[in-house]
Each structure stands twice: as C-alpha cells, then as structure tokens.
Amino acid sequence: MATLPTYFDGFLKDVRPTKNQRDDLKTGHTTLRTRLRADDGLSAVYVSDFLQGSYRRSTVVRPKGDSRSDVDIIVVTRMDKNEYAPEVAMGAFVPFLEKFYKDKWDWQGRSFGIELSYVKLDLVITAAPSEVQQGILSTKAVTTDEGLDEALDWRLVKGWVPVEERSLLRFADSITLQKSLTEPEWKVEPLWIPDRDAHRWDETHPLAQIAWTRDKNKNCSGYYLGTVQALKWWRRSFDAPKYPKGYPVEHLIGVCCPNGISSVAEGVVLSLEAMVREGAFYVATGTVPVLPDHGVPSHNVMGRVSAEDFAAFYKHVEGAATIAREAYDEPDTAQSALRWRDLFGNKFPEPPTQKGGFSPRDSVSTPLGSRFA
C-alpha cells in the first residue's frame, strides 16, 4: 500500500494555517479574551471563557482564497436562562462590543460575529451553569488556548497545566500534574447558548467534542487529525451544496474513520469508502442520516442537510473514494502521488521524478499529535 508519509507531511503542512495566520488567530482571540476579563461592565455576569471549534480541536485548515481565518470563543456567564430571554442576555454584551469593536461586529442567530482586517471571531455566550461547573470551567484545563496537536495529554482534571507553563512548575506542582494524567476526568455538563431568532436556549457541549476528538486521535495512533484536515481540504476543492460543511463533515469523518489506522492515507481511503458504503441507503431512500452530537445526543448534526444536498455530496464522495483507493493501491510512488494530486489538488506534492529528480522516501514518519449511527 502506498501510504506516502513524506508526501502527506508536506501536503498537510501546506493546508494547515500558516504561521502568520496562526499568529493572527492568537492575537485576535487573546485580545478579545483579555478585554472580556477586564471589562467592568461585564464583571457582574462574567465567569470564564474558552476556545471551541476546529481551532481548538486542531482540525482547522487554512482559509481559501482571500478568506480570513476564524476562531470561536465561548463566554460562560452567571445569567440564568430561566430569568433572561436570549436576546436580553446577548444584549448585555452590546456595550462591550460597541466599546471595543464598533462597526466591526454584528448579530448572528446564536452568537456575535466580529470581523477584523486579519481574523474573524465568533463570540458565543452561555447561560449560568451550576456553581460546581463554574469552578471547573474556570480551570486551566478549560481555558487553555493550546490545541490538541500542542497538548497531547490534555485532560479535564484540576491538576492539568498547559504545556507552555510546565517549565516554570515547582517540583510539587510537577508531581500533581503527573497524577492528574491518570485520575478520572470531570463530568462536565452541557452548556446553554441563546438562539435569538428562535427565542430559546439550546444545549451545546463543545468540551465533549474536544474530548471525543482527542480520544479518537489516540485510537487512530495520532493520524486522525491529519485525516480530518486532508478531507476538509478535499471538501473545499469542489463546488457543492452549502451543506454539509464544517463540523458536520468533520463529524461524518469521525464516525466513518476506523480506529487503528496506521497512516493518514489509510484514514482517507477507509473514511471515504465507509461514507460510500453507509450512505448508499440514505441516497436510495431520499433521506439523510441522523448523526447525534457527541456531547448532546438529541442534537442531529446533519439536521440542516436536505436529502438533495446529501445526495449531491454523496456523488462527490463516490468519485473521491475511487481515486483514493487507486492512489493507495498504486505500487509506484510517483504514480500514486499523481493520483493523490487528482484528489487533493496542487497542494499535494508533485513527485520529483516528473521534474527529472528522484522521488522522496516512502517510509514511516511521526504523525501529527502523537458509521453512521
């Protein structure tokens, strides 16, 4: 099998956010979070904040064309959902936004969008959790800005410390950290976010999604994150219906990618083939699979996808699965690389033999990071 680890390493490097884009993301969310924590007008309702989404899960790929990178920030508040209507709770943040982001923010159905010249921020507020949960949501395990590719041992426990802070730990704190890596994780409850358009509060559980992704990556020997990034890039490479995209596609990859894969190439092939195999019934019956959210099972992540859109997406998956299998089974490294380029485009490295050189090695390299229902 042609796993082409060196080629995939180069490909993934070129589809992940650049250093400048990562720096912009960090500057954007760090500035926003610092302002939230220090704002006198929000001090009565503010509890904590943390990152969510593909940036936090380390499944993000660089934006296409002139688009800007984006990052999602959750703000935990003390506002009781039984006492505050969604629009009233969100309204409490308007003075803050006018103060720091005048003419750069806008209302969204369940969040605020902030568009800067270099980055897009999605600010999501939540209703008050229990006092016990408030304590958990204020710990470094939750508020860290390190992604899963940076903090391979991340766990929802009190003693966990971000990797960048560990060189400053005292000996006793280092022992506490080591113990925290084996103790049971907290049972974190879902949070409630406002839906201003529907006039209701909805459950969400981003921390469960992060923990699920971490566990899946471990079960895939560290190759899952790269598999998701590769297939997200593929999804961006063709004109398709609006849905599914973003997290629904990532979730679909997660339930289709088998545990125990030994390369990104294998993860891509087997995930696509599982989508074809399991999706055939839904296309034939004009329906859409129900995929329960990892944190809130009552939420179907494919709920916004129509049968027509799913069928159109499925046709692209069928073609991609065929190309991926041919690339994977091709014994000649150069020919295999060219077939992978047919799938992923020119971000996938061209074999040097096509330009008069020698093909790079085809050997094992270190992965990033260590079915339908």
Beta-strand (E) ranges in the chain? Answer: 46-52, 70-77, 105-107, 112-115, 120-126, 191-195, 200-204
| Nearest one of 319, 234, 251 to 290, comparing CA atoms | 251
Rounded Cα gap, residues 125 and 296, in angstroms: 17
Catalytic site residue from 9, 24, 49, 70:
70
Residue 314: both structure tokens together: 């499925």
| Nearest one of 237, 218, 200 to 15, comparing CA atoms | 237
Q: Give buried/exposed letters for 329-365 (b at 16+ CB in 10 A, else e).
A: ebeebbbbbbbbbebbeebbbebebeeeeebbeeeee
Establish whether 122 is a catalytic residue: yes
Catalytic site residue from 122, 145, 293, 309:
122
Establish whether 70 is a catalytic residue: yes
Asked if residues 119 and 69 have their Cβ atoms less than 8 Å apart, the reply is: yes
Q: How many CB atoms lie within 10 A of CB 78?
A: 13
Establish whether 9 is a catalytic residue: no
Rounded Cα gap, residues 304 and 317, in angstroms: 19
Catalytic site residue from 24, 72, 149, 293:
72
DSSP SS3 for 97: helix
Would you name the residues annotated as active-site residues?
70, 72, 122
